[in-house]
């Protein structure tokens, strides 16, 4: 049995390495396409600028200019369509394959991948994937934004209505978060009543807007109904941070996000905080 498990683990590791190589090759092709696109645009622009200085017959010059313009325009459209369409679709497929292989490899070591209650990833798996991603993102010069949500009032709700009601509210919040992120983003349950999201290739300002949108949806679609049904006073606080602006590693990113969130909460009076459904990110 032990030998079989080791063999399965080696097979999973091999698959992860293979998919990662495919992702890196896809990254290279994407970069090559962009370079060709820029080169064609620059050369065509230079040719069009030099065309009036060439001693060509008017009819020939007009034909050459039209050919250069048409070739540049059509070539740029074709390259742009390939870059934004086929490339993104292929990368999405490769990411799903890599995620599935990582989940199987993590589970084969006896480690939990999903939180049984909410369906979000465990923090251990979240950090593992982020460590692998960050190495690749540094190479690609891309960004990772972390958004953390804290559901307030759950202990009071559990004390008044029972653990089942509190768990139901937490599950609904987790489901709402999962509905509002892309398949490539990672959502994990963090320390009981908190959730953390890793937004792939997301700048800090965009991450703030995403966090605010999710907070508003949770307030309107989840917390408002729970508060009305059970007479509770659930609220939501949130904060975001980004690699590389705020941290250089996933664990640092997580700590910075949590520390800033706790500081925000400490600055809001308890009474006002109980009426607040989402944090003011600009505070």
Share of the chain above pLDDT 70, in %: 59
Whole-number pLDDT of residue 41: 66
Sheet holding 235-243, edge to edge: 186-190, 194-200, 144-152, 235-243
State the angle between helix axes of 2-50 and 87-108 in degrees (0 to 180), rounded to the nearest 10: 160
Q: What is the pLDDT of residues 74-87, one digit of tens each?
A: 666 655 655 554 45
Q: What is the pLDDT of residues 208-245, one digit of tens each?
A: 999 999 999 999 989 999 999 988 889 999 999 998 88
| Confidence grade of residue 278 (pLDDT, cut at 50, 70, 90) | very low
Report the candidate in 203, 186, 96 with the shortest Cα–Cα distance to residue 142: 203
Helix or strand run (H / E) with residue 145 = strand 144-152
Alpha-carbon distance 195 to 237, whole Å? Answer: 11
CATH number 3.10.20.310 is the correct assignment for the domain at 123-274: no
Whole-number pLDDT of residue 9: 46
Whole-number pLDDT of residue 188: 96
The answer on pLDDT for 89 being more than 80 is no
Whole-number pLDDT of residue 232: 87
Helix or strand run (H / E) with residue 146 = strand 144-152
* Mean pLDDT across 143-150: 92
Alpha-carbon distance 23 to 166, whole Å? Answer: 41
Domain boundaries, the chain: 2-108, 123-274
Tell me if 226 sits within 8 A of 232, measured CB to CB: yes
Lowest mean pLDDT across 53-57, 84-88, 157-161, 264-268: 84-88
* Mean pLDDT across 34-39: 66
Global confidence as pTM: 0.67
Q: What is the pLDDT of residues 116-143, one digit of tens each?
A: 999 999 999 999 888 877 665 544 556 7
Whole-number pLDDT of residue 266: 85
Name the range with the highest mean pLDDT among 39-43, 220-224, 254-258.
254-258
Tell me if 49 sits within 8 A of 98, measured CB to CB: no
Output 279 or 209, whichever has higher pLDDT. Answer: 209
Output 196 or 89, whichever has higher pLDDT. Answer: 196
* Mean pLDDT across 246-275: 80
Output 25 or 231, whichever has higher pLDDT. Answer: 231
Alpha-carbon distance 199 to 209, whole Å? Answer: 12
């Amino acid at each position: 049995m032990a030998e079989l498990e080791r063999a399965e683990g080696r097979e999973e590791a091999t698959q992860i390495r293979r998919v990662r190589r495919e992702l890196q090759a896809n990254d290279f092709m994407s970069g090559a396409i962009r370079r060709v696109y820029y080169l064609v645009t620059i050369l065509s622009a230079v040719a069009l600028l030099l065309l009036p200085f060439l001693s060509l017959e008017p009819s020939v010059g007009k034909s050459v200019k039209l050919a250069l313009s048409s070739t540049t325009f059509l070539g740029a459209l074709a390259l742009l369509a390939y870059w934004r369409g086929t490339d993104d679709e292929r990368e999405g497929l490769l990411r799903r394959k890599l995620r599935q292989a990582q989940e199987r490899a993590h589970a084969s070591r006896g480690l939990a991948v999903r939180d049984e209650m909410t369906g979000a990833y465990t923090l251990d798996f979240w950090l593992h994937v982020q460590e692998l991603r960050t190495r690749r993102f540094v190479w690609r010069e891309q960004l990772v934004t972390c958004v953390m949500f804290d559901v307030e009032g759950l202990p009071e709700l559990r004390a008044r209505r029972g653990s089942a009601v509190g768990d139901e509210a937490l599950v609904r919040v987790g489901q709402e978060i999962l509905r509002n992120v892309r398949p490539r983003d990672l959502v994990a349950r963090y320390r009981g009543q908190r959730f953390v999201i890793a937004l792939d290739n997301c700048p800090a300002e965009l991450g703030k807007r995403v966090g605010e949108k999710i907070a508003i949806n949770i307030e309107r679609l989840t917390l408002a109904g729970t508060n009305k049904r059970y007479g509770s006073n659930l609220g939501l606080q949130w904060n975001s941070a980004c690699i590389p602006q705020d941290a250089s590693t996933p664990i640092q990113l997580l700590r910075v996000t949590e520390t800033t969130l706790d500081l925000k909460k400490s600055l809001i009076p308890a009474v006002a905080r109980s009426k607040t459904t989402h944090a003011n990110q600009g505070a």
